[in-house]
Amino acid sequence: MTYRDLSALPKAETDFSDFLSQLQDALTRDSRNPNEVVSETLQQIYFGRLVSSKEVEDLPLASRALLHSLDPRNVTTEPEYYSEIDAKLYEQRKPHIWLWQMFDRSPLGQNALLGHRLRRMLAPLIFKSVGQNFKCWNHVEWSFGYNLSFGDNVVVHRQVLLDDRGGIEIGNNVSISDYVNIYSHTHDIHEITKVYNLPTRIGNDVRLTYHCTVLAGCQVGDGAMVGTGAVVTKDIAPAHIVVGIPAKTAKVKDESAARAGAAKPDPSS
């Protein structure tokens, strides 16, 4: 899908570009602690300016709690409580994750002109790999980040959950619609504390449509499409269109492509 080419007023475009350029420089310069950069950036977004140490004691307690919470070192996220986390890898990414999440929750997060560029800038600092032309809308969540990879020309829409505990690989030219859930971990049906991490792969040219769910360990073949609200519980062959709970084939877009995909040997066998 081709997007319209939109822009803000000239002064705003200049300020957007300068803001992102300065932020990227601060986050990637060795001399700066990224936690401090993120804290300062979020102070300016939420308070309109930097708050001096002398002013802190005069703030109401709720405002002081907010100020402290803008520093990634003073917050915890759900993935940090998972036992299998690679704490070192996550710690490297946490400031950038927190900036992404708190930006999205600010008034600026509703501005796609700025948001697409900021998320594209942060993505390589968070994810395992990111291809060209990555586009992400607001309020997208993931687990670790370092187990999540994107190919070229991937679009992720609003309110998507990408649970990369066991690893998620997303191919080229993939569209992930609003409210999609992709999982790579599952729980034992008898012992809820026992977790199984299973890599999940979304092939090239796949469309995951509104509110669908892909469960852990599933492989969605190239060119496949998952219908609205469908729940994928097993592998989807290339070019198959699946619908329902559990998802089943309703149509095949390209019979020859589907047969070619099914004929490929299982690499795990």
Residue 150 and residue 78 in one domain? no
Q: What local confidence, expressed as pLDDT, does residue 1 receive?
A: 62
Residue 86 and residue 140 in one domain? no
The CATH number linked to 149 is 2.160.10.10
Q: Does residue 5 fall inside a structural domain?
A: no
Distance of alpha carbon 266 from alpha carbon 247, whole angstroms: 21
| pLDDT single digits (tens) 106-126 | 999 999 999 999 999 999 999
The model's confidence at residue 258, banded by pLDDT at 50, 70 and 90, is: low
Residue 42 and residue 146 in one domain? no
Lowest mean pLDDT among 1-15, 98-112, 158-172: 1-15
Q: What local confidence, expressed as pLDDT, does residue 256 receive?
A: 65
Q: Which of 91, 110, 126 is the last residue of a domain?
A: 126
| pLDDT single digits (tens) 29-49 | 868 899 999 999 999 999 999
Token readout for 42 is: 């979020």
Residue 263 has pLDDT above 50, yes or no: no
Residues 253, 239: contact at Cβ < 8 Å? Answer: yes
Residue 147 and residue 219 in one domain? yes
pTM score, two decimals? 0.91
Residues belonging to the chain? 269
Residue 140 and residue 49 in one domain? no
- Residue ranges making up the domain that contains 218: 129-269
**How many folded domains does the chain comprise?**
2
Q: What are phi and psi of 161, to 5 degrees?
A: -115, 125
Residue 155 and residue 36 in one domain? no
Q: List beta partners, residue 240.
A: 252
